[in-house]
Structure 1
Amino acid sequence: MPTPTYELLEVPGGKPIKLWTHGVPVEPEARAQLIATAKMPFIFKHLAVMPDVHLGKGSTIGSVVPTVGAIIPAAVGVDIGCGMIAACTSLTAADLPDNLGRLRSAIEKAVPHGRSFGRNKRDTGAWDNVPGSAEHAWRALAGRFKAITDKYPRLEKTNNRQHLGTLGTGNHFIEVCLDEANRVWFMLHSGSRGVGNAIGCLFIELAQADMRQHIANLPHRDLAYLEEGSRHFADYVEAVGWAQDFARQNRALMMHAVIGAARQVIAKPFDAELEAVNCHHNYVQKEWHFGREVLVTRKGAVSAQKGELGIIPGSMGAKSFIVRGLGNEESFCSCSHGAGRVMSRTQAKKLFTVADQIRATVHVECRKDADVIDEIPMAYKDIDRVMEAQRELVEVVHTLRQVVCVKG
């Protein structure tokens, strides 16, 4: 028998934890959080931990949580359906304009991004006038959303329709990349935006309220769960499924806008979907594993069924990868969703300067200011080590390097 590539952590009173983390750091706080989750009574078989693992709110980012008969809403999180989309084009590096700033500017104008506050000021991260493409996509989602809001009216007054086709903030991004053959790819990262956040927050609150008598016995209040058969369980499954569909459509709309923006700047006609991938990495769904149907929550993890394509982005200024799943059942057919942070955003802003950011992203057309220092590459794990640690989970199909990056 070959030596497994994972570390096995036995948990007294809980299920084992299998960590694909050889050669990458795992903070003690993340281990403690994983152990707490492994002690929940409905965990199926074991937790699977990806090499980008780090401490998260509610549940550990970079973990795969299989359950039977219950879901932990905080494990799914509030960025429901967050994920990646990538499209390979017929363009090559030589077809890009000499001034990549023009391309970045065109993308920034085409896709609302970031967030702005102020009395009587429009939020720059939302649509002021929703375009026809987003209206059309919203009509396909609106009926199911009404069924949800009829039961939970507070979700109606959220950023929903006006966020469809918008990027968001934080680590959400749009990139223009080159692969090993110098072909141009467009790639972006986003999720279900304001409405998904509201759905996540609501059901985390409901789970905690339903468990009010028992919450003191939980390892952490964010491990409050919804039991299968209960009203809130069924309603959560309905709402989270809708939010995941919203997220997938959100990414598709933005990709269409990015391609349109590029066509305004690049004179040469091009095909834009020679290869295309659209995958979640914060979600829950029913799957078949080890002979039975289970609920699989991937909190910062990507499905890697045998032959399935996925996306593992590096940090701002590092490499990214298009991968093919190897169908490793021990990981519940999963892989990492990125490089994974090695420090908090606050720590990064204290430790690094704008000059550091400029040096780290010298080869990328992107923002280089104080507001993006928390996304500096050094705040993340080494993506090469992350990929090495999961060599039995995925194989690399394409290696991408960024040349343009738009941050929210």
Structure 2
Amino acid sequence: MPIKRIITKAKVPVKIYTDDVDPQAMTQLVNIAQLPFIHSHVAAMPDVHVGIGATVGAVIPTKGAIIPAAVGVDIGCGMNAVRLSLKAGQLPDNLKPVRAAIEAAVPVGFAMHTDKPGVPASTVRALDGGLDRIVGKHPGILKMQKHVERIWAQQLGTLGGGNHFIELCLDENQDVWVMLHSGSRGIGNIIGRYFIDLARKDMGKHLANLPDRDLAYLQEGAEHFDDYVAAVSWAQDYAMTNRREMMRLILEALGRQLPPFTLTREAINCHHNYVAVERHFEETVFVTRKGAIRAGEGELGIIPGSMGAKSYIVRGKGEPQSFCSCSHGAGRRLSRGKAKKTFAPQDLIAQTAGVECRKDAGVLDEIPGAYKDIDEVMAHQADLVEVVHTLKQVVCVKG
């Protein structure tokens, strides 16, 4: 479907690809569109919902400034998926040992690899130099978490918690896929929070002129702008590496549980919380995608549903009005707290029928009923992407 709503009450328009927009999210979108450095317009994807400062599901093009809170604290969070040479009929009838093998290989929640990194030393060295340069100029980052100098390496190849997951899925041809969702772990969170705070301090008395203090920004040419660009770039590389290393560990674990297999599609590895330099509407701009993926013409991407719903491998159509973007998932309908109050474990059991996964109160905030209908979200972005594969999970690992 084309753009459903255009809001014109701010400096630039807000173009929205759905009618399902929470009033608070609408206020956040208008607040962003009031900022003086927004280029052309703000685009809101079909999964749009309330975030911290900036709306999740927003694509924000800026000239000469970046909003650290719009990029967020899980810098580089995104998806990775590979297709295996296996068919559904080659999977064991009991998938619980498969889930256990994945959970044993990849630490989840607050857990991490103990004693030493769970990835090759060369991978750690490749990232280490960039981090040293960042904390050399901003040693305060190291004070935000105990033992961060070793923890960041031990968290490489780990899942985290919240809405992050690892899944074994089947597509419409009964081919087996591995799909995962994670980001830059604790070190990305620290870098994000540090520069969000620094942006507020740098704005000083001008912070009061913003519609929301979480929209504090760093201007190009200012003291800390280049440092943030370097730090966010490093965190995005870390997140990409984290997903790649997790996938390696998962495939090794599956190799001990399943019949021999090969990879039949090159891995799709895409960010959905990040900033990049791109050209749109005859200008070179910083594009912040907060809960959105790039969907340039012909580009492959991943749009997951909830832990009981379908997910999609998509090919972008390069739609200019969305800044070549599409949604990053279904989008939350209920906050985590509201989901826990609304649903009980028996609801989770019913909504994840047929999926080998946790079904306890500890993951109740991730119940499918807390999310928008992924089919509706996909219908609203038919102008943005075409569906290449439809996936349904049979195993889901959560933190």
Q: TM-score range by the shorter chain?
A: over 0.9
1:173 aligned to 138, 146, 165, which one? 165
Moved more, 131-140 or 228-237: 131-140
CA contact (8 A) 1:17 1:49 kept: yes
Aligned counterparts of 2:302 and 2:2: Cα–Cα separation in 1: 24
1:16 aligns with 2:10: no
Deviations for 1:229-258, whole angstroms, at most 9, x for unmatched residues?
A: 012110000000000000000000000111
User: Match for 1:19: what amino acid?
Assistant: I
1:330 aligns with 2:321: yes
CA contact (8 A) 2:170 2:391 kept: yes
SS of the residue 1:322 aligns to = strand
Deviations for 1:45-75, whole angstroms, at most 9, x for unmatched residues?
A: 0000000000001210000000000000000
Identity of aligned residues (%): 59
**Equivalences, count:** 393
1:349 aligns with 2:340: yes
CA contact (8 A) 2:78 2:182 kept: yes
Counterpart in 1 of 2:49? 54
1:102 offset after TM fit, Å? Answer: 0.5
Counterpart in 2 of 1:193? 185
CA contact (8 A) 1:134 1:165 kept: no
Counterpart in 2 of 1:162? 154
1:298 aligns with 2:289: yes
1:388 aligns with 2:379: yes
Deviations for 1:127-175, whole angstroms, at most 9, x for unmatched residues?
A: 1123463433111111111111101113344231111111001000000
User: Match for 1:330: what amino acid?
Assistant: Q
Aligned counterparts of 2:264 and 2:201: Cα–Cα separation in 1: 46
SS of the residue 2:122 aligns to = helix
SS of the residue 1:127 aligns to = coil
CA contact (8 A) 1:81 1:247 kept: yes
CA contact (8 A) 1:58 1:77 kept: no
Aligned counterparts of 1:291 and 1:373: Cα–Cα separation in 2: 46
Aligned counterparts of 2:115 and 2:179: Cα–Cα separation in 1: 25
Aligned counterparts of 1:359 and 1:313: Cα–Cα separation in 2: 20
1:371 aligned to 357, 362, 366, which one? 362
CA contact (8 A) 2:118 2:154 kept: no
User: Match for 1:302: what amino acid?
Assistant: I
CA contact (8 A) 2:3 2:15 kept: no
Aligned counterparts of 1:162 and 1:90: Cα–Cα separation in 2: 31
User: Match for 2:4: what amino acid?
Assistant: Y
SS of the residue 1:213 aligns to = helix
2:96 aligned to 73, 98, 101, which one? 101
Aligned counterparts of 1:46 and 1:285: Cα–Cα separation in 2: 17
SS of the residue 1:257 aligns to = helix
1:278 aligned to 269, 277, 284, which one? 269
Aligned counterparts of 1:232 and 1:161: Cα–Cα separation in 2: 26
2:305 aligned to 314, 324, 328, which one? 314
CA contact (8 A) 2:52 2:69 kept: yes
User: Match for 2:180: what amino acid?
Assistant: L
SS of the residue 2:25 aligns to = helix
Structure 1 unpaired stretches of 5+:
116-124
Structure-1-length-normalised TM-score: 0.95
User: Match for 2:127: what amino acid?
Assistant: L
Aligned counterparts of 2:174 and 2:304: Cα–Cα separation in 1: 17
2:205 aligned to 195, 207, 213, which one? 213
Aligned counterparts of 1:132 and 1:369: Cα–Cα separation in 2: 28
- Structure 1 moving runs of 4+ over 6 Å: none
Counterpart in 2 of 1:87? 82
